[in-house]
Chains A and B, each alone.
Chain A
């Protein structure tokens, strides 16, 4: 297989994201508040809280950073919406990559959609789905 360079890989992901795909429970796009968007480093994501959990009917915003070596190197993720979850810093929203499977076991074939879906299933896991949550819609200062 031809190795797809980072930028064309991200453009492909962007186009898919712009059209909207999957079940609509996770979505993402470029963070256009950033000046230098040509580099495609800064992204925003949204996760609809999984049902049968404390997150049901809540909407979570996230910030994702894809560095120069994405997808060989996993992206960095932080929640913008406050959340109580194992592996998420309660003060900053930063996701500890060693604490969630999708980042800990990251593969270059994974996409931003894989990432968001992985986080969503993590939110629904037995050790997360019953944690007391901050007020709905409150945000981290990031």
Chain B
């Protein structure tokens, strides 16, 4: 199957040439299901934390985007209580030319650049717009409380 071959290639590259600050490994027997650890980007409220995500490549991949969510609790306007992520390339802007690594890099970039004008978590976005300083403080606090400390 062509899709499986592509997935194997992507996994091989993720292992050989890992993205700095991101670890992605298939879980057990399911080649389409990944456990991901992502370091919070520098100069963001997520700095110093390591965040856990899960990623699944549906049957239609790469014609359909991967499904990804955070398992670590996040205070971010584009991430909701269930860890679901609001990001265009995970929806209508997906292209089969994109890969697992580009998706994860985009998510890491989203941590650096929250977008409260396209919110998923409305209360968080509201806070971000009305009192950014306090919002960033809360996000920093949550990183300390819920993220895995750097190893």
Contact = CB atoms under 8 A, between A and B. Distances in A.
Interface of A: 1-5, 7-8, 11, 14, 30, 37-38, 40
Contact of A38 (B56, B59, B82): B82
B32 interface: yes
Given A11-B67, A38-B71, A5 B54 contact: yes
A11 B58 contact: no
B83 interface: yes
Interface of B: 27, 30, 32-33, 54, 56-59, 67, 69, 71, 73, 81-84
20 contacts: A2-B30, A2-B59, A3-B30, A3-B33, A4-B56, A4-B58, A5-B30, A5-B54, A5-B56, A7-B69, A8-B54, A8-B67, A11-B67, A11-B69, A14-B82, A30-B82, A38-B71, A38-B81, A38-B82, A38-B83
A7 B73 CA distance: 15
A30 B83 CA distance: 14
A40 to B, nearest CB: 7
